[in-house]
Copies of this chain bind each other. A is one copy, B any other.
Amino acid sequence: MTTHRIAVIPGDGIGKEVVPAGIEALEATAGRFGIGLEFDTFDFASADYWQRHGTMLPPDWEETLRAYDAIYFGAVGWPEVVPDHISLWGSLLQFRRTFDQYVNLRPCRLMPGVRSPLAGREPGDIDFVVVRENTEGEYSSIGGRIFEGTDRETVLQETVMTRVGIDRVLRFAYEQAARRPESHLTSATKSNGISITMPYWDERVAAMQEQFPGVRVDKFHIDALVALFVLHPDRFDVVVASNLFGDILSDLGPACTGTLGIAPSANINPERDHPSLFEPVHGSAPDIAGRGIANPIGQIWCGSMMLDHLGHPEAAAHLLGAIEDVLAYGPGEAPLTPDLHGKGTTAELGHAIAERV
C-alpha cells in the first residue's frame, strides 16, 4: 500500500470548521478502499498566521509543501485583519504559480436535494466541468500607472498568453473531453472584441483539435456563453477558458446548479511534478464563521477530487456517491445544514457522509 502524504491547510473562517469533516470522510473512504493517507496540518496561509508573523507564509513554505502529494485547503481570506489582495496573492495565487497548478477544475452538477435557481431542471440535466487556465492570461501583474493624480492619469495592465501556457491547458481539456461519453469541448473566447490575445487562443484551440479528432469542439464569445449557461446549461460537457473567463464561468456554473455553497475546485499540476491543491469554492464566509453550521460538502467533494487525482477514481466516485445519497435523504432524514433547510451542524453532516461511505 502506497501512502499519500497530504498537507492540510485549514486557513481562515469556516475553512477551519469544514476541514475536519473533510478529513473524516477521506479517512473513511481510504479505509474502505485500502488507500494510505497521512495528514499533516499547517497553520500558515491564514489571518492568524499573518497577525503573528506579518507574512502569510514562512520562508521555507515551498520546500515544506513540496514534500507532499497534495494540499488539502480550507479557505483563505479575512479582510478585517488582512486585505484580500495581500492574503490571496501571498498564498493561494502564489501556490498556483509556484507549483505550476495550471489547471483549475470545477465540476458543475445538479445534485439531488439541491435547489437550482433555474426553472424546470432536474438532477442529471446538468453535469459539466469547467477547465480554467490558472497561471497566466489576464491575471498578470504587469503594468502600472502614469500621470498619477492628474486628469491624464492612465493605468495599464498587460494580458500575457503563451503558446506553452495555452497549449498545456487545452491538452488537458481535450483529454478530459475525449474521456467523457459526449466528447464535447466548448471554448470561451471574445475574439470579436479582445482582438489580439483571444484570436490567438482560438488559433491554438483549432491547432490542438487536430490531435483529438474524436472531440466535437465549439466556441462562443464569453457574453453569449454566460447567457447560454443560464438558458441551456444542459448543452455543456467540458468548457475550457482563460484565467479570467474561467474564473467567471466557474462561479456562474455552480450558481446555475445551486451548488455555489458546496462546489469544489482543484488546482492541478497534471504532470505531478508539484503538489496539487484542492479547495472548496465558498471561501472563509465571515458571516457564518464560528457557529459550526457551515456546510462541509464542498470540502468533502474536494476530497473526492483529490482521491481521483491521486489515482483512485473508484474511491473518488464512491465518496461523491455518498454525498449524493445523503443529499437525497433531504433535511427530514439527514442532518443537513441550514443552507439546505436542515438543522444539522457541520460535524453532524460530516459524520453522516462518513458513515454512508
Contacts and interface: CB of A to CB of B under 8 A. Distances in A.
Interface of A: 84-85, 88-89, 93, 116-120, 138-139, 141-145, 150-164, 190-197, 199-200, 222-224, 226-228, 230-231, 243-244, 247-248, 250-252, 254-256, 260
Contact of A230 (B161, B162, B256): B256
A269 to B, nearest CB: 19
Nearest to A159: B157
A222 B248 contact: yes
Given A230-B117, A255-B230, A223 B196 contact: no
A226 B197 contact: no
Given A154-B162, A155-B196, 11 more contacts: A142-B196, A143-B196, A152-B162, A156-B196, A157-B194, A157-B196, A222-B248, A226-B226, A227-B254, A227-B255, A231-B255
Copies held by the complex: 2
A102 B119 CA distance: 36
A350 to B, nearest CB: 25
A158 B161 contact: no
A81 to B, nearest CB: 16
A118 B230 CA distance: 8
Contacts of A143: 158-159, 196-197
B252 A226 contact: yes
A115 to B, nearest CB: 8
